Amino acid sequence: MTVVRTTPSSTWRNWAGNVTAEPARAVAPSSTEELAAAVREAAEAGLPVKAVGTGHSFTPVAATDGLLIRPERLVGVQGLDRAAGTVTVAAGTPLWQLNRTLSAYGLSLTNMGDVMAQTVAGATSTGTHGTGRTSASLAAQITALELVTADGSVLRCSADGTPEETAVFAAARLGLGALGVISALTFAVEPEFWLTAREEPMPLDRVLGEFDRLVAENEHFEFYWFPHTDRCSTKRNNRSAGPAAPVGRVSGWIEDELLSNGVFRAACALGRAVPATIPRIAQLSSRALSARTYTDIPYKVFTSPRRVRFLEMEYAIPREAAVAALRELRAVVERSGFRVSFPVEVRTAPADDVPLSTSYGRETAYIAVHMYRGTPHQAYFSAVEQIMTAHGGRPHWGKLHSRDAAYLAEVYPRFGEFTAVRDRLDPGRVFGNEYLRRVLGS
């Protein structure tokens, strides 16, 4: 039997700093065998178990007062099958490492979110997504996985296994850490390709008026609306024949670091100190970024540095409801007196078949709202949440929301199927915590 050495743990904090936990123990396994032994020993000792990634969730989905499993040694590509078009990677591998390794082999994920700091298991387990007309979230790109269950058993499953295995696979692709601890994931990959990005300022009314066309005509469309203004920054990513025409080093630094991070951080800090300045700052910010076009490999186009820390809430609503919901959101901001320094982010996704995916079974629009860290956010987020839930919205599992299991069971057709798998794999709730009790039930 493998004996895993655990240590007393210090306070754990997430990236945004709004969630802390005081685990009794911590362990950083370097193999599936060490991970399984750690889970088994904790369960025998009556300790709950949670695995953390890099803390990019805004909810306490990974918080525990029991055994905290850290990801930093469970990393690396374990196998690459060009013929099958798959890559198998250890669960703690950060997305930046996966992307760079794939690129070195001339391969790429089909789609991804805009942050690369997350671990692969953390990103998929909470539903991380990008924007896409036909290409879906990271979880939808999983073809197989390895899961350590509550008794320390190792379960390997895919869509091609036994009925029991396929049921676990369907649920565990986006499992919230409620079914076990993922030790490895297999993703579908494809030959690396070029993406041409076109970023362009545009009036909000034009974006809303042309929203359906912009989504239909582009492989990946997203936009950011600056509250207190009528201006948006739009981004259209489409495959191209190349050649590479990356963002220039100086111009890229000005746009992505100085304006989007450095100056923006200073503006947010000023707005937090003097809220009355926020509308004027928003007017200036919305005019700071100019149009640009560039071509590069996928991860360099899809992702961006995010150095200004914030709190976020995001809802997935039926895509046909997006324009109406955004008009309602604009009206709320205009009449409420809210002072919102962060832009509203809007993305889309096709329907998928992952039971707890926010885009399960329907064409989806994502509307995300943010507030600078340390700024009061509750009233704004609550007002936005009322709009989104009126449209049947599904909250992002890793972002702030107030929904519970009773509501979520109504908006996820396969919610009961997921909880049945949970009851079978973890009847004693070894992997439970307060957040999961709220969103999944006891």
**Span 319-333, pLDDT tens digits:** 999 999 999 999 999
**Once rounded to an integer, what is the mean pLDDT over residues 68-89?**
97
b or e along 98-125 (b: 16 or more beta carbons within 10 Å of the residue's beta carbon)? Answer: bbebbeeeebbbbbbbbbbbbbbbbbbb
Partners of residue 235 on adjacent β-strands: 199, 222
* Contact yes or no for 286/224 (Cβ under 8 A): no
Residue type (1 letter), 353:
D
**Once rounded to an integer, what is the mean pLDDT over residues 4-8?**
57
* Contact yes or no for 181/148 (Cβ under 8 A): yes
Residue 416 phi, psi (nearest 5)? -65, -35
Query: 130-141, pLDDT tens digit by residue?
Result: 999 999 999 999
Give CA–CA dist 231/224, Å, rounded: 9
Give the per-residue pLDDT at 304. Answer: 87
Return the percentage of the chain with pLDDT > 90, whole number. 85
Residue type (1 letter), 382:
S
What does the CA dihedral 146, 151, 153, 156 come to, rounded to 10 degrees? -30
What's the whole-number average pLDDT of the chain? 93
Give CA–CA dist 344/354, Å, rounded: 26
CA dist list (Å): 213 to 328, 365, 377: 21, 14, 33
| Domain 194-296+308-397, architecture per CATH | 3-Layer(aba) Sandwich (3.40)
Nearest-5° Cα angle at 161, 159 to 167:
60
Give the per-residue pLDDT at 249. Answer: 58
Total length of the chain: 442
Helix axes 163-172, 415-425, angle to 10 degrees: 110
Domain boundaries 77-191, corresponding CATH code: 3.30.465.10
Residue type (1 letter), 404:
D
- The residues spanned by each domain of the chain are 12-69, 77-191, 194-296+308-397
Q: Between β-strands 107-108 and 364-372, what pairing exists: parallel, antiparallel or unpaired? A: unpaired
> What is the maximal distance between C-alpha atoms in the chain?
64
Give the per-residue pLDDT at 80. Answer: 97
* Contact yes or no for 228/284 (Cβ under 8 A): no
| Domain 12-69, architecture per CATH | 2-Layer Sandwich (3.30)
Confidence check: pLDDT of 419 > 50: yes
Confidence check: pLDDT of 261 > 70: no
Give CA–CA dist 385/389, Å, rounded: 6
Give CA–CA dist 276/432, Å, rounded: 43
**Once rounded to an integer, what is the mean pLDDT over residues 168-182?**
98
**Once rounded to an integer, what is the mean pLDDT over residues 239-263?**
69
Closest Cα to residue 260, out of 308, 225, 314? 308
Eight-class DSSP state of 109: -
Residue 33 phi, psi (nearest 5)? -65, -45
Query: 99-134, pLDDT tens digit by residue?
Result: 999 999 999 999 999 999 999 999 999 999 999 999
Question: CB atoms < 10 A from the CB of 60, how many?
Answer: 18
Question: How many CA within 13 A on the CB side of residue 337?
Answer: 2
What does the CA dihedral 338, 343, 348, 349 come to, rounded to 10 degrees? -90
**Once rounded to an integer, what is the mean pLDDT over residues 63-89?**
97
CA dist list (Å): 263 to 20, 57, 342: 29, 25, 13
Helix (H, G, I), strand (E, B) or coil at 62: coil
Positive or negative, the Cα torsion across 70, 73, 77, 79?
A: negative
Closest Cα to residue 16, out of 377, 408, 418? 377
Give the per-residue pLDDT at 1. Answer: 44
Give CA–CA dist 248/242, Å, rounded: 16
* Contact yes or no for 126/62 (Cβ under 8 A): no
- Rg of the chain (C-alpha set): 21
